[in-house]
Amino acid sequence: MSEKDVIQSEVATFAGGCFWCTQHEFDRVRGIISTIAGYTGGAMKHPSYKEVCSGATGHVEALQIEFDPSKITFRQLLDIYWRSIDPTTQKGQFCDIGSQYRPIIFYHNERQHQEALASKRALIESNVVAHVLVDILPASPFFPAEDYHQKYYQKSPTRYELYHAGSGRDRRLKEIWEK
């Protein structure tokens, strides 16, 4: 492999409610190298699912994405992110209520920060939604979730489909984005 063939990947981190659904959404995208479900945004080191679910750690369920910017840009990832969340609430996403499910864009450098701010501004100016309550914050330590959460939609497809169908996610996304 020549130096020219080495992929110069980037990392993006998004919180958008349940990481099972977020991971499933992004795993289908061309240019994504890998995704990891996990926790970020809190002070505790190496929190467990049970600790994060308590809402007391300050962490959110999030997805860390490694992507190939020659195949998909951060801006394109932002577009996918916006259309996979309800940007009008900070109290959770869909059936998952609590601070651990709030939507946040975590940026890893100043370019990502500026692109995230610009995409939020563009969404606000589009008048698609009345208000956008998604925070844009600097990336903080990311802790991978337990193995049984990784690619949950593949490991437990029936349970995942039951959860996804019952979450109200598809109905709400259709209400917001198909106007």
How many CB atoms sit inside 10 A of residue 77's CB? 24
**Which candidate in 18, 21, 53, 95 is catalytic?**
18
Residues ≥6 apart with Cβ < 8 Å to 13: 40, 62, 63, 64, 65, 105, 106, 108, 139, 142
| Strands 104-107 and 135-138, bridge-based pairing | parallel
95 carries an active-site annotation: no
Distance of alpha carbon 15 from alpha carbon 88, whole angstroms: 14
Residues with catalytic function: 18
